[in-house]
Amino acid sequence: MRNVKRGKPPGLTETGPALLYGVHTVTEALRNPRRRIHALHTTRNALEIVGPLAAERGLEPTVARPADISKAAPDGAVHQGLLLISDPLPPVDIEDLALTGPVIVLDRVTDPHNVGAVIRTAAAFGAAGLVTTKLFSPEATGVLAKAASGGLEHVPWARETNLARALDALKARGVLTIGLDGQAPEPLRAVDDPARIALVLGAEGKGLRQKTAATCDRLARISLPGALASLNVSNAAAIALTIATGLSRD
């Protein structure tokens, strides 16, 4: 294949969203015209997967040994022979979210694996965006992007200074904000217009903060039949989206 060179990827540490790895993460990043890419390092086998996409982007991949990519990637990273260096995605304002589907709002969910899994779920449901705070939420690092499995390229992420004001901004656009609370008196039900809802989820164990809960239009619980009532936030997001969008009735 032309436009291929050989060498070792640079020794990098995961200090931000510029280092992406894994097949789904890298291929979706290559497909995203908003993602400015600086370099692509690949094993010979993985080149068969990403070579055509790289050519479309005018990239000249560097072919490296798996061991060299492992050294450049974070410890324990399942890179699948792919390492991509890029700029962060451009920031998104909450006012710019196109309300074509439900919005997911996370209240101080800090674990990158959980946030990445939520983004993956949101992408599968065609969510209009993710809203978090600038503080008390993880950066879009390679760990998060890998957990999102390519979803980071499809779900606009608005980072707001104040979550209550962000919810008010959504409500001003006609969005119904529903906070998920295990102690809420009413169960979550399907809504008439899934493109006009925001599902607000708190961290596992801590739940929603008092101010966040008070700002929501309503609170609802996910009714579960089993002995364990607590869910991982990504699982809760998936179930909530299934119920609220009416898919549970299909």
Question: 249: part of which helix (H) or strand (E)?
Answer: none
Exposed, middle or buried by CB within 10 Å (0-12, 13-18, 19+), for 220?
A: buried
User: Which pLDDT does position 3 carry in this prediction?
Assistant: 45
User: Mean pLDDT over residues 224-235, rounded?
Assistant: 75
Confidence of residue 1 (pLDDT cuts 50, 70, 90): very low
Mean pLDDT taken over the chain: 89
User: Which pLDDT does position 148 carry in this prediction?
Assistant: 96
Strand 218-220 and strand 176-180: pairing? parallel
Confidence of residue 74 (pLDDT cuts 50, 70, 90): confident
User: Which pLDDT does position 228 carry in this prediction?
Assistant: 60
Instruction: Give the chain's domains with CATH numbers.
Output: 5-86 (3.30.1330.30), 94-249 (3.40.1280.10)
d(Cα 127, Cα 173) in Å, to the nearest integer? 16
User: Which pLDDT does position 14 carry in this prediction?
Assistant: 43
Tokens standing for 7? 């060498």
User: Which pLDDT does position 206 carry in this prediction?
Assistant: 83
What stretches of the chain adopt beta strand conformation (E)?
5-6, 19-21, 37-42, 62-63, 82-86, 103-107, 129-133, 157-160, 176-180, 197-202, 218-220
Task: Write down the pTM of the prediction.
Answer: 0.89
Confidence of residue 231 (pLDDT cuts 50, 70, 90): confident
